Amino acid sequence: MKKFMIIWIGELISGIGSGMTAFALSIYVFEMTGSVSSVSVIVLAVFLPTILLSPLGGVLADRYDRRMLMLIGDLFSGLGVVYILWNIHIGINSIVPIIIGVTFNGIFVALLEPSFKATITDLLPKEDYTKASGMIQIATNSRYLISPVLAGMLLTIYDIRLILILDICTFFVTVITISLVRKSIAKPLKKENRGMLIEIKEGFAILKSHTGIRTLVILMSAVCFFIGFVQNLAIPMILAVSNAKILGFLESACAMGMLVGSVIIGIFGIKNKYVRCLSLAGMSASIFMAMTGMSAYLYITGIGMFLFFTSLPFINASADVLVRNNVENEIQGRVWGIISLLSQAGTAIAYALSGVMADYIFEPFLLKDGFLAKSVGSIIGVGQGRGIGFMLIISGIGMLIATFLIGKNKNILELEVNCSN
């Protein structure tokens, strides 16, 4: 557990830095363009390379030293941030350099994520998987908890360049922690080189042959699709009635829910019944998602987001353990890579659609004289941000259906057999 904690601390620091950059870039682009679609393009550029290259990263994680791949991914992903910083510093007022920088960053993150997930199985016994998943979510979601308030405060005293410099510094901290752990772990045995394409196909074949995991991944892709609307639209919806500083405090306060959920899992774990936990947490999260869009009053939005984020760690940890206990360690890298591709494809589609739908359909429909002003608008209000609110309500309903189906599917329920052995 000590070696895992060293890596975890590095990823926690890196997550805070990356979260500050993501928060600051969203505000920077929104203020520069005034367009939700432009923010969506940036967010999509961050995630799309990671999603598309995840199967390749998974094969590399099974073939080579997973800690070395994490080190390379962290170090070189920082070069994308350096490129953005340079272009902002010399005064280029365009989103094109930002798109290029975040895309480059995403390419190397694709090497990092499958290796990080597979490393948990390398370092920890089976009984610690759930707790480790909770700890990972604390590190991963520190960008929602700590980063927004730090970035919001820093933006009041200096511009985005300071945040980008701090983010670059965090990459070196992560590299040091991974290097420390790598020295104390034996190098993996050299494996037969059968070609990356063949190994990627084997990963797909494994999912195809395992009905329970395949069904879980399909339904989780739908869940990720609806969650993607919250991730992409929450900032523009809040900025429509507030400012960057308040947004930072509100996001951090709401993300306390993520910390609460992750800490509970990290301390107590989940005692079997993973499918039931996933389904109930998912249905609860869907109700809270809809709540975030019900009113323009920020305290209602804040309560809804707090409860929504409290539920997410239970969804993620349950799905993680169900897969981890049903896939052999030697092939987990490529399986996690392909699962990331398929599940996060839902998120990518949501990012691609949500901005355009908000700018050209839902927001105009819920302006004062909009098409839905007298019907839906009479319930949730009209004006800037109300169209996005309506989108979140619809997304909550969709997520409710998807997570209900997870809890009732027999093939997914059968995955729990290996979790109890």
Q: Is the pLDDT of residue 360 over 80?
A: yes
**What is the rounded average pLDDT of the residues 370-396?**
91
Residue 410 within a domain: yes
At 404, the pLDDT band (50, 70, 90 cuts) reads: very high
Residue 189 within a domain: no
Tell which residue, 330, 303, 159, has the closest CA to residue 244: 159
At 420, the pLDDT band (50, 70, 90 cuts) reads: low
At 173, the pLDDT band (50, 70, 90 cuts) reads: confident
**What is the rounded average pLDDT of the residues 254-282?**
80
CATH of the domain at 240: 1.20.1250.20
Residue 374 within a domain: yes
Using alpha carbons, list the distances in angstroms from residue 59 to 107, 220, 333, 390. 15, 22, 6, 41
Residue 191 within a domain: no
| Predicted pLDDT at 138 | 67
Using alpha carbons, list the distances in angstroms from residue 91 to 6, 87, 88, 267, 366. 39, 6, 5, 48, 37
Cα-atom radius of gyration of the chain, to the nearest Å? 21
| Predicted pLDDT at 83 | 92
At 395, the pLDDT band (50, 70, 90 cuts) reads: very high
* Residues 57/113, Cβ–Cβ less than 8 Å: yes
Neighbours of 34 (CB within 10 A): 10
- Compare 39 and 408 and report the one with higher pLDDT: 408
- Compare 375 and 11 and report the one with higher pLDDT: 375
CA distance 229 to 235: 11
The three state secondary structure string of the chain is: CHHHHHHHHHHHHHHHHHHHHHHHHHHHHHHHHCCHHHHHHHHHHHHHHHHHHHHHHHHHHHHCCHHHHHHHHHHHHHHHHHHHHHHHHCCCCCCHHHHHHHHHHHHHHHHHHHHHHHHHHHHCCHHHHHHHHHHHHHHHCHHHHCHHHHHHHHHHHCCHHHHHHHHHHHHHHHHHHHHHHHHCCCCCCCCCCCCHHHHHHHHHHHHHHCHHHHHHHHHHHHHHHHHHHHHHHHHHHHHCCCCHHHHHHHHHHHCHHHHHHHHHHHHHCCCCCHHHHHHHHHHHHHHHHHHHCCCCCHHHHHHHHHHHHHHHHHHHHHHHHHHHCCCCHHHHHHHHHHHHHHHHHHHHHHHHHHHHHHHHHHHHHCCCCCCCCCCCHHHHCCCCCHHHHHHHHHHHHHHHHHHHHHHHCHHHHCCHHHHCC
What's the predicted TM-score (pTM) here? Answer: 0.68
**What is the rounded average pLDDT of the residues 330-336?**
71
Q: What is the phi/psi pair of residue 107, to 5°?
A: -60, -45
| Domain interval for residue 259 | 2-184+196-419
Instruction: Kindly report, residue by residue over 96-141, the tens digit of the pLDDT.
Output: 889 898 888 878 777 676 676 666 666 667 667 666 766 766 666 6
Residue 40 within a domain: yes
**How many structural domains does the chain have?**
1
Which tokens sit at 76? 């070189």
